[in-house]
Amino acid sequence: MIASVRGVVTAILPDSAVVEVGGVGMRVFCTPGTLAGLRTGAEARLATTLIVREDSLTLFGFADDGERQLFDLLLTANGVGPRIAQAVLAVHQPDAVRRALAGADVAALTKVPGIGKRGAEKMIVELKDKIGPIGFGDTGSAGMLAGAWQEQVRQGVLALGWTASQADQAVAAVGETIDGEAPPVPVLLRQAIRLLGKSR
């Protein structure tokens, strides 16, 4: 089990980052919000979960240990694989996920690409009694500089499976809502995903 990695970020891709650890470049799959907090050439620490399959070893990375623990919890639900669990954390902050499960908020869970009404109901039944303490904050981690948010949001939307055209429309729609300084990229990304979810 690889619980965390610390090293210099050598590359940031739409769905992952490469972190050099002891001379070895480890590709770590992350949510767009986590990627937005990384910088190429800077040191970073990511909490991680290693998913072992017969034909692959895949490392998923998170901004903190609490997010990783929620990811691991989501994986215990029937029908939820690592990609779905990661998509949940891309759309919602950890506390928002816990509130959705505790409050049986099917609508919130179905905003996640790949989760339908029945899947959301199953997750709630299986996980609502397993979630930890619920907070009420919904602030994102620090994002990129304001001038670069459009491309970060666009790449995040593409990584979650929407088309380039849909990504461009979402970025434009989010841009129209900004008055003054742009909020952090994770906040903007969640707004774009909500807009796209309404148009599905």
Summarize pLDDT for 136-170 with one digit per residue, the tens.
444 443 333 344 577 778 777 877 778 888 888 88
Q: How confident is the model at residue 120 (pLDDT cuts 50, 70, 90)?
A: very high
What are the b/e assignments for 130-148, b being 16+ CB within 10 Å?
A: ebeeeeeeeebbebbeeee
pTM of the predicted structure, to 2 decimals: 0.68
pLDDT at 132: 61
Q: What is the pLDDT of residues 20-40, one digit of tens each?
A: 999 999 999 999 889 888 999
pLDDT of residue 142: 38
What's the pLDDT at 72?
94
| pLDDT tens per residue, range 54-65 | 888 999 999 999
